[in-house]
Amino acid sequence: MDIGEQIQLFQDFFELNYYDDIIKAVQKGTKHIDVDFALLSMFHIDLAQELLDNPEDVYKTSQLAVEKLHLQGDTKNFFVRFMNLPDSQTISIRDIRSKHLGKLIQVEGVVRQKGNVRPHVTSAKFECPSCGNIMNIIQVEEKFKEPTQCGCGRKGGFRLLSKELEDVQKIVLEEPTEQLEGGEQAKRFNLILRNDLVTPLGEKKTNPGSRVVVTGVVHEIPISLHGGGKSVEFDLMLEGNHVEPVEEEFINVEISPEEEQTIKEFAESGKAFKRLVKSFAPTIHGHEKVKEALLLQMMGGVIKPRSDGVKTRGDIHVLLIGDPGAAKSQLLKRVSVIAPKARFVSGKGASGAGLTASVVKDEFLKGWALEAGALVLANQGIACIDELDKMTDEDRSAMHEGLEQQTITISKANIQATLRCETTVLAAANPKFGRFDPYEVLGKQINLPPALMSRFDLIFPVRDVPDRDRDNEIAEFILKLHQDVKRADEVELDTDFIKKYVGYAKKNIRPRLSDEALDEIRDYYVKIRNMGGDGEGIKAVPITARQLEALVRLTEASAKVGLKEVAGKEDAKKAIELVHHTLSQIGLDPDTGKLDIDRITTGVTASQRNHIVIVREVINDLSKQHKQIPEEDIVKECELKGLEEAKVEEVLAKLSRTGDIYQPKRGFYSKP
């Protein structure tokens, strides 16, 4: 097919399908249109095939066709972007080979790294000082090329008159995780974008962590050797023609009308919650409350954007703390299988940079590049973090912003960026000494920073305590699973159905609180808040506004399980039951027997703060009589105020650590 025929066909095609779009683009000054390949193939199959085989030439003929439409305005350098290629041209990143060189293909991937937008010289004009001849040199290589010789015989010393520039940005794409099998490493591919693809609006599509479908031409890049020559090996690169962000929904599985009908009938049966919990992790015995919480976590609450620009998060963060062998990791793995956009990371194998984002030096990008971590890549999905207690404090502290503000802000090298991190976090950890001490309070055995703990809506202790009847049940359950493998597969609901059900609910249901649910939550909140007692001293704070928001999120998630648009009283009761269950196990003050949220959020309960106040008062009074106060005097005075010796010694040790008092000699205390 000759060039004249191609231009004429494109003119006819544009006049038939895209005439109005081209006029609007020229008037706005955007100077590009998106053309559906399916429409082109219906119009002229040979032209469509020519585009796939020789894209570079067809790009130029399509540009010339737009110029020949004789529209009012500047149509020079008008770009035609082709999208929606057939399945035969949709290639996985790991399957791109030398046979694809020079061909138009379509790839899907996640943006891992992104360089800065830089101007790139496409052609330069030089003048010969001797004869005035003007030479136009096309710049195709990385090195800037000047003319070697003029027609008049002059060599070198040419004057640069002008140069044409275009904007260029380099990006590194990575395969989506769901396309990987087993322990495969995700492959990466270099991508280069030019002109209108890197405008400020277009650039938002390609932030690190975004998932995109790119149409482009595969090129080879020569690799330079250290000695100065060229290597026989070549690098591959995709020159982008069209970039389209994939809608980041919780689930990308297509749900047919028949399946949608089945989902609705299942929700109307009235037993959806129980049946889903039963089928959630059929190979794990017990842990009913934890399974309920994880089902609600996958559903999530409703994100509420406020008029002041602040978003109230809808994600429910859950922390499992428990003994080894109590099936915590199994539950995490199960969630990562059911939730479609899930990332599984483990403590020692995860750093703060790997979880959030990092700035790396990249050969392809020639400089510093932003690389997204697991929390950013799991945006709109779930991040399962195992062995949270094995991570270092510096690495754990990187998670604080991601959990509450749902953004990751990075300011390193020459890069300042804020990445979206609307990610639900499910974490698992072991107690301080590896296993829970049955004679010690649970809250004291959790070795995690209070600031991080307070960001989790639900904290479950998963205990493994010997009990003859329960142990007999578990042993029988596990052994029968091993004896009959098929029995494990005989569950009421299969994984695929649960995945589609959760995806449908998360995508389509946005429940609001009914007045009954609101009253139920408010009554519980006020009742628990005022359980701190009316005695003297500092009152315990059983529950804070953070738990109130957690109750709202859990209520909305419970309504989503039943595909209800309005969350009712029973949903609020389910949320209250779960929150109260976790608070009563971890937030209980052993001295008063009452709930005290400070045990989780600050590590110091109200009764301990009361003890500190009493001991401080005694030290202040005695310091007026002695410079060095004997320990026996402090203990005697405190015992008169109802504080036993062991508690006094504990407070004295705490005050010494904080520097409020010091020991000038053994058995004596002084104020600094």
- DSSP for 614-642, please give it: HHHHHHHHHHTT-SSEEHHHHHHHHHHTT
CATH number, domain of 541, equals 1.10.8
Tokens for 582?
Answer: 């976790």
Q: What is the structure's pLDDT at 17? A: 83
Neighbours of 397 (CB within 10 A): 14
Dihedral of the CA atoms 398, 402, 407, 408 (nearest 10)? 20
Burial 298-322 (b: 16+ CB within 10 A, else e): bbbbbeeeeeeeeeebbbbbbbbbb
Tokens for 325?
Answer: 């062998």
Domain contains 501: no
Q: Which of 550, 585, 602 is the last residue of a domain?
A: 602
How far is Cα 398 from Cα 388, in angstroms, rounded to an integer? 13
383 and 433 both lie in a single domain: yes
Q: What is the pLDDT of residues 350-366, one digit of tens each?
A: 666 677 777 777 666 56
Res. 534: pLDDT tops 50: no
Domain contains 476: yes
**Judging by DSSP bridges, how do beta strands 118-127 and 134-138 pair with one another?**
antiparallel
DSSP classification of residue 381 = S
How far is Cα 78 from Cα 66, in angstroms, rounded to an integer? 7
Q: What is the pLDDT of residues 254-300, one digit of tens each?
A: 677 787 788 888 777 777 778 888 877 777 777 788 888 888 888 88
Under a CB-based contact definition with an 8 Å cutoff, are residues 515 and 565 in contact?
no
Res. 603: pLDDT tops 70: no
Under a CB-based contact definition with an 8 Å cutoff, are residues 357 and 371 in contact?
yes
Domain contains 503: no
The rounded mean pLDDT for the chain is 77
How far is Cα 557 from Cα 300, in angstroms, rounded to an integer? 5
Res. 349: pLDDT tops 70: no
Domain contains 598: yes
Query: Phi, psi at residue 35, to the nearest 5°?
Result: -110, 130
Q: Say what the pTM is.
A: 0.67
Q: What is the pLDDT of residues 452-485, one digit of tens each?
A: 777 788 888 877 777 777 777 778 777 877 777 6
Q: Which residues pair with 174 in a beta bridge?
A: 110, 188
User: For residue 117, what pLDDT band results from cuts at 50, 70 and 90?
Assistant: confident
Query: Phi, psi at residue 488, to the nearest 5°?
Result: -65, -30
Domain contains 271: no
Q: What is the pLDDT of residues 43-90, one digit of tens each?
A: 888 888 888 888 888 888 888 888 887 777 777 778 888 888 888 888
Query: Phi, psi at residue 86, to the nearest 5°?
Result: -70, 165
Number of domains the chain is built from: 5
- Between the alpha carbon of residue 270 and those of residues 60, 250, 265, 274, 499, the distances in Å are 61, 25, 9, 9, 19
405 and 522 both lie in a single domain: no
329 and 376 both lie in a single domain: yes
How far is Cα 63 from Cα 77, in angstroms, rounded to an integer? 7
Range of the domain at 342: 283-294+318-364+371-490
Burial 612-630 (b: 16+ CB within 10 A, else e): bebbeebbeebeeeeeebe
Res. 587: pLDDT tops 60: no
Res. 414: pLDDT tops 70: no
Q: What is the structure's pLDDT at 365? A: 58
Q: Which residue has the tokens 């009361």?
A: 610
Q: Return the SS3 of 9.
A: helix
More confident residue, 425 or 342: 425
Q: Which of 425, 419, 410 lies closest to 208, judged by CA?
A: 419
Q: Which of 84, 113, 139 is the last residue of a domain?
A: 84
550 and 572 both lie in a single domain: yes
Percent of the chain topping pLDDT 70: 85
CATH number, domain of 7, equals 3.30.1640.10
Neighbours of 42 (CB within 10 A): 11
**Judging by DSSP bridges, how do beta strands 118-127 and 512-513 pair with one another?**
unpaired
CATH number, domain of 211, equals 2.40.50.140
Helices assigned H by DSSP within 191-256: 200-203
The one-letter code for the residue type at 2 is D
The residue-averaged pLDDT of 364-369 equals 66
Q: What is the pLDDT of residues 12-49, one digit of tens each?
A: 888 888 888 888 888 887 778 888 888 888 888 888 88
290 and 430 both lie in a single domain: yes
Domain contains 42: yes
Q: What is the structure's pLDDT at 538? A: 46
597 and 613 both lie in a single domain: no
Tokens for 323?
Answer: 């003994």
How far is Cα 12 from Cα 201, in angstroms, rounded to an integer? 31
- DSSP for 467-503, please give it: -HHHHHHHHHHHHHHHH-HHHHH--SS-HHHHHHHHH
CATH number, domain of 390, equals 3.40.50.300
Angle (CA) 528-534-535 rounded to 5° is 130
DSSP classification of residue 309 = S
Under a CB-based contact definition with an 8 Å cutoff, are residues 78 and 31 in contact?
yes
3-state helix, strand, coil in the chain (%, to 5): 40, 25, 35
Domain contains 335: yes
How far is Cα 366 from Cα 589, in angstroms, rounded to an integer? 57
The residue-averaged pLDDT of 488-496 equals 65
Residue 23 buriedness (CB in 10 A; 0-12 / 13-18 / 19+): middle
CATH number, domain of 611, equals 1.10.10.10
Q: What is the pLDDT of residues 176-234, one digit of tens each?
A: 766 666 556 778 888 888 887 777 666 667 777 778 888 988 888 777 777 767 778 88
- Between the alpha carbon of residue 406 and those of residues 203, 212, 344, 376, 662, the distances in Å are 21, 21, 18, 9, 43
Calculate the CA 611 to chain-centre distance: 43
User: For residue 592, what pLDDT band results from cuts at 50, 70 and 90?
Assistant: low
More confident residue, 201 or 665: 665
428 and 569 both lie in a single domain: no
345 and 486 both lie in a single domain: yes
412 and 532 both lie in a single domain: no
652 and 595 both lie in a single domain: no
110 and 168 both lie in a single domain: yes
Q: What is the pLDDT of residues 306-326, one digit of tens each?
A: 777 677 778 888 888 877 777
The residue-averaged pLDDT of 575-600 equals 66
Domain contains 198: yes
175 and 206 both lie in a single domain: yes
